[in-house]
Amino acid sequence: MTGGKRINLLNIEPAEAEVALREFAVSEGEAAYRGAQVARHLWASPAPEFAAMSDLPAGFRNQLAEHFDLPRLELTAEQASSDGTRKFLFRMADGQAIETVAIPEGKRVTLCVSSQAGCALRCAFCATGAMGFARNLETFEIAGQVRELALLDPPIRPTNVVFMGMGEPLMNWPAVSRTLTILNSPKGFQIGARHITLSTVGWLPGIEALEKRPEQFRLAISIHAPNDALRAELMPVNTKFPLDDVIASAARFSRRVTFEYVMLDGVNDADAHAEALAELARRCGAFVNLIPLHPGGSMGFRPSPAGRIAAFAARLRARRVEVAVRRSRGLDIAAACGQLRTERVRRRLPAGADDDREIHQPA
Ligand code: SAH
């Protein structure tokens, strides 16, 4: 090729890629259906590179590689938990590292994907927040996490995807929105919209943008405190988007919203907090997920004892709020937001500062 930039087929919507590929096939003297064949190898039946698309003529594969790009993410670390959870660290072309977690649960496999390298929001208990913001991920880097796992041998094929890895997905809306299309599309991963969940701190412009999509993508809102004073301490974003406005936007949302509430010992887990939270949940018909604090890298917070979590849940139920207590997964591999990358970065510190833990396998 003569200097022109190759088109990144993984950074555009599947339908758009297919049109470009059909036109390209015809311009190369091939039948248009060859373009559709290539398009299937982007997501639905992914191939690691053009050369591996063995159902295509070799000459055409070479032409494709000259005009188009199928960038890979480099898998630099993997950890497996005794509970089946697997955590992957990917390195981007510019050296940024992001995490993806695969959580098997019966017949389901949930992938937790990252939408940003780092995060600007600095929630007090979150390892990603502590590293600060590096940059938004591009579509091919978000959807690429799912693609890379589908390229493993044996492949990991998710039934569910949650945007609960590193970053605030609604602050990277254009790339996240295209990723939603790739995940859901019949020409993409074909995952039902109701099996795809965006988790947000309550970034209101993003909630409005999500609301405009016709598909039934699910929305989870990280509440974590039932009043502005405490919430602003735990989540600085609360000064920009206060709780009342977040709850109002949840009430306007056309689908049922889930509240996430991480249980912090002695901070947000008193009976009075449960009562105030019940009131908020009832205002917008939310379902409440109580999340035990994942202790790795949790900056001085302690998880609430199991009995306290149960009592808190009971108090919500008594106020007719639907509530689930999440099981913490991947506890032995620091699988919460940002924790693997934090561990790897720490490992590069001089000897002595190094916290070089092995994966803990319970006896
Ligand atoms: N920025 C988005 C999505 C990423 S975090 C959001 O905040 O919702 C996904 C969820 O993990 C959020 O509810 C976040 O508050 C929570 N989380 C972060 N650190 C955690 C930890 N150490 N233990 C348990 N949950 C944590």
Please give the Cα distance from 311 to 315 (Å, whole number). 6
> For ligand 1, atom 13, which residue shows the shortest CA distance?
222
Please compute the mean of the pLDDT values over residues 233-253 and round it to a whole number. 98
| CATH of 74-344 given 3.40.190.10, 3.20.20.70, 3.40.1190.20, 3.40.50.720 | 3.20.20.70
Contact 43, 182 (CB under 8 A): yes
Contact 80, 359 (CB under 8 A): yes
Domain ranges of the chain: 7-69, 74-344
Least confident of 13-17, 176-180, 223-227, 334-338: 334-338
Residue-level pLDDT at 323: 97
Which pLDDT tens digit goes with each residue over 100-152? 999 999 999 999 999 999 999 999 999 898 899 999 999 999 999 999 999 99
Probe target for ligand 1 pocket from 142, 337, 340, with the most ligand atoms within 8 Å of CB: 337
CB–CB of 354/74 below 8 Å?
no
Among the listed residues 131, 130, 221, 207, the one whose alpha carbon sits nearest the alpha carbon of residue 176:
207
Beta strands 160-163; 108-112: pairing state: parallel
Q: Which of 170, 262, 269 to mutate to test the pocket of ligand 1 (most atoms within 8 A of CB)?
A: 262
Is the confidence at residue 296, as pLDDT, over 90? no
Q: Is 337 a catalytic residue?
A: yes
Give the list of residues 6+ apart from residue 52 with CB closer than 8 angstroms, or none: none
Residue 359 has pLDDT above 50, yes or no: no
Active-site residue (options: 99, 138, 168, 343): 99
Q: What is the pLDDT of residues 297-322, one digit of tens each?
A: 657 899 999 999 999 999 999 999 99
Residue 87 has pLDDT above 70, yes or no: yes
Share of the chain above pLDDT 70, in %: 89
Which atom of ligand 1 is nearest to 221's Cα?
A: 8
Evaluate whether 7-69 and 74-344 have a shared fold.
no
Name the catalytic one among 112, 119, 123, 337: 337
* Percentage of the chain lying above the pLDDT 90 cut: 84
- What spacing in Å lies between the alpha carbon of 258 and ligand 1's midpoint? 13
Q: Which residues pair with 109 in a beta bridge?
A: 104
- Residue 3's pLDDT band (boundaries 50, 70, 90)? low
Q: pTM of the predicted model, to two decimals?
A: 0.92
Identify the burial level of 108 via C-beta atoms within 10 angstroms of its C-beta, where 0-12 means exposed, 13-18 middle and 19 or more buried.
Answer: exposed
- Cβ of 269 closer than 6 Å to ligand 1, yes or no, is no
Architecture of domain 7-69: Orthogonal Bundle (1.10)
| pLDDT tens, residue by residue, 164-210 | 999 999 999 999 999 999 999 999 999 999 999 999 999 999 999 99
CA distances from 235 to 117, 227, 304 (A): 19, 11, 18
Beta bridge partners of 200: 221
CA atoms within 13 A on the CB side of 224: 25
CA distances from 160 to 129, 134, 214 (A): 25, 27, 19
**How many angstroms separate the alpha carbon of residue 41 from the centre of ligand 1?**
33
Residue 260 has pLDDT above 70, yes or no: yes
> Is residue 255's pLDDT more than 90?
yes
- Stretch 154-158: mean pLDDT, rounded? 97
Answer for the pair 341, 350: CB distance below 8 angstroms, yes or no: no
